[in-house]
């Protein structure tokens, strides 16, 4: 059997089978692109503003405080304990939403900050011991003084046991404030604050591991 035994016939060019699907007129595409640009341009401009992340952080923090202390505070707790499932194929895991934020996205955040500090240690503002000593000393002071003030204020109550809680610096808010100020913050001050916050957090983790691990 050969293919020539089966005659093949192609439909003529003008037949419906060979015609391309109708396309939208150029005017409609131009209008759609114009509308899309008008919608996306403000958002794109906002995302490229350095202070945008700081504004979003402050708004989110204010909204969370209001929500958590409102009559609907129980829904706030329920929201953060909502199970979110992620997986590929048969590998599935379900964890609360706050787990994905604290142990997922914050890991990426600290990784990026750590890379910036590493670069400054090798070839930047922290490359000399004399310069690196300043944020280290400031971090130690930033750990000791809040703990002392907290212990004095809560003296004689059961809350005294939590003296280590105010020791850590919220590095996310520190970066948010820097972003809010934008280019008005010198590069050296930015590096100083980031290094101080990281050293402070490491010290707080050590204190918690030593004094609170049995709890």
The CA distance from 186 to 87, in Å, is: 43
Q: What is the pLDDT of residue 69?
A: 93
Phi/psi at 91 (5° precision): -85, 105
Say if residues 118 and 191 touch (Cβ distance below 8 Å): no
Q: Are residues 62 and 117 in the same domain?
A: no
Q: Is residue 68 in some structural domain? A: yes
Q: Is residue 64 in some structural domain? A: yes
Range of the domain at 199: 107-215
Q: Is residue 150 in some structural domain? A: yes
Q: What is the pLDDT of residue 2?
A: 46
Q: Is residue 143 in some structural domain? A: yes
Q: What is the pLDDT of residue 42?
A: 59
Q: Are residues 79 and 139 in the same domain?
A: no
Q: Are residues 143 and 209 in the same domain?
A: yes
pLDDT-wise least confident of 7-16, 49-58, 116-125: 7-16
Q: Are residues 60 and 126 in the same domain?
A: no
Whether the pLDDT of residue 4 is over 60: the answer is no
Q: Are residues 72 and 161 in the same domain?
A: no
Q: How many domains does the chain have?
A: 2
Q: What is the pLDDT of residue 160?
A: 83
Residues 185-212 pLDDT 10s: 787 787 888 888 888 888 887 887 888 7
Q: Are residues 145 and 190 in the same domain?
A: yes
Q: Is residue 128 in some structural domain? A: yes
| Arithmetic mean of pLDDT over the chain | 76
Q: Are residues 189 and 144 in the same domain?
A: yes
Q: Are residues 142 and 74 in the same domain?
A: no
Whether the pLDDT of residue 146 is over 60: the answer is yes
Q: Are residues 116 and 214 in the same domain?
A: yes
Say if residues 93 and 85 touch (Cβ distance below 8 Å): yes
pLDDT band with cut points at 50, 70 and 90 for residue 1: very low
Q: Is residue 194 in some structural domain? A: yes
Q: Are residues 148 and 113 in the same domain?
A: yes
CA 52 from chain centre, in angstroms, equals 13
Q: Are residues 112 and 78 in the same domain?
A: no
Please tell me which residue, 75 or 161, carries the higher pLDDT value: 75
Phi/psi at 7 (5° precision): -65, 135
Q: Is residue 171 in some structural domain? A: yes
Whether the pLDDT of residue 51 is over 50: the answer is yes
Q: What is the CA radius of gyration of the chain?
A: 29
Q: Is residue 89 in some structural domain? A: no
pLDDT band with cut points at 50, 70 and 90 for residue 66: very high
């Amino acid at each position: 059997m050969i293919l020539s035994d089966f005659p093949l016939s192609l439909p003529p060019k003008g037949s419906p089978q060979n015609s391309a699907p109708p396309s939208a007129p150029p005017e409609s595409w131009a209008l759609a692109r114009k509308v899309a640009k008008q919608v996306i341009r403000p958002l794109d401009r906002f995302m490229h503003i350095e202070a945008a992340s700081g504004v979003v952080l402050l708004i989110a923090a204010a909204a969370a405080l209001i929500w958590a202390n409102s009559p609907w505070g129980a829904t706030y707790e329920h929201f953060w304990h909502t199970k979110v499932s992620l997986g590929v194929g048969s590998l599935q895991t379900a964890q609360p939403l706050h787990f994905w934020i604290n142990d997922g996205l914050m890991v990426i955040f600290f990784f990026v900050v750590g890379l910036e500090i590493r670069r400054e240690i090798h070839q930047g503002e922290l490359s000399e011991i004399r310069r690196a000593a300043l944020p280290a000393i400031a971090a130690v002071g930033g750990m000791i003084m809040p703990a002392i003030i907290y212990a004095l204020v809560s003296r004689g109550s059961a809350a005294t046991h939590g003296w280590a809680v105010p020791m850590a610096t919220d590095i996310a808010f520190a970066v948010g404030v820097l972003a809010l100020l934008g280019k008005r913050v010198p590069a050296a001050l930015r590096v100083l604050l980031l290094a101080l916050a990281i050293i402070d957090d490491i010290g707080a983790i050590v204190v918690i591991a030593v004094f609170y691990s049995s709890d």
